[in-house]
Amino acid sequence: MNPVLKDIHNPEAISWWPLAPGWYGLIVLGLLLMIVILLLHRWWRKQHTIQSLMQLKLKTIRLSFEQDHNASKAIESMNKLIRQVSLANCSREKVASLSGDRWLAFLDSTLQSEQFSKGPGRLLVEEAFKKQINADLSPLFDLTALWLKKVINQKKAWREHAHV
């Protein structure tokens, strides 16, 4: 063995720190993805909670009607609930002043049908201030539940279609 030659030395092991630039990009991308997922989850939960609360309020109105058989009070409560949701989802100027057939036309435009102006929804206007009401409110309860579900689920599209 030649004394002038030295042994071959292996290079030092590559350190894991500092990371290569690609890893930093991957970390940032992962954090952004987690933030987006968190925001979407919070948005979905909020929408689901709002819809559940509105449906619960409608069930409360129905149970109250089944106990006291006060149709006038039930119609007034449903109308109030629909108006509250409308005011929360659409501009106050567009909704607050509506009454009578214009109110029903507005509700028809949000549901994209004529169930309010030509169906059970007419009770909201025709029977609203009568003392004794002999009408079947079951279709009106169903229509209100359908309207609430559609409005809460399609808030953006609803705002665009809701014109008077």
CA 69 to chain centre: 31
Q: From the CB of residue 159, how many other CB atoms can be counted at a distance below 10 Å?
A: 15
| Tens of pLDDT, residues 97-136 | 888 999 999 999 888 889 999 999 999 888 766 777 778 8
| Tens of pLDDT, residues 52-108 | 888 899 999 999 999 998 888 999 999 999 999 888 888 788 888 888 999 999 999
Which region, left, alpha or beta, applies to residue 100 given φ > 0 means left and ψ of -120 to 50 means alpha? left
Label residue 27 by pLDDT band (50, 70, 90).
very high
How far apart, in whole angstroms, are the C-alpha atoms of residue 164 and residue 152?
A: 19
Residue 144 within any structural domain of the chain: yes
How far apart, in whole angstroms, are the C-alpha atoms of residue 61 and residue 81?
A: 10
Closest to 88 in 3D by CA, of 131, 134, 57, 132 = 57
With beta carbons less than 8 A apart as the criterion, state whether 78 and 141 touch. yes
> In this structure, which amino acid lies at residue 30?
G
**The predicted structure's pLDDT at residue 120:** 92
Residue 21 within any structural domain of the chain: no
Structural domains of the chain, count: 1
Which residue, chain included where needed, has tokens 């007419």?
Answer: 122
With beta carbons less than 8 A apart as the criterion, state whether 129 and 74 touch. no
Residue 92 within any structural domain of the chain: yes
Residue 2 within any structural domain of the chain: no
Range of the domain at 150: 51-161
**The predicted structure's pLDDT at residue 39:** 97
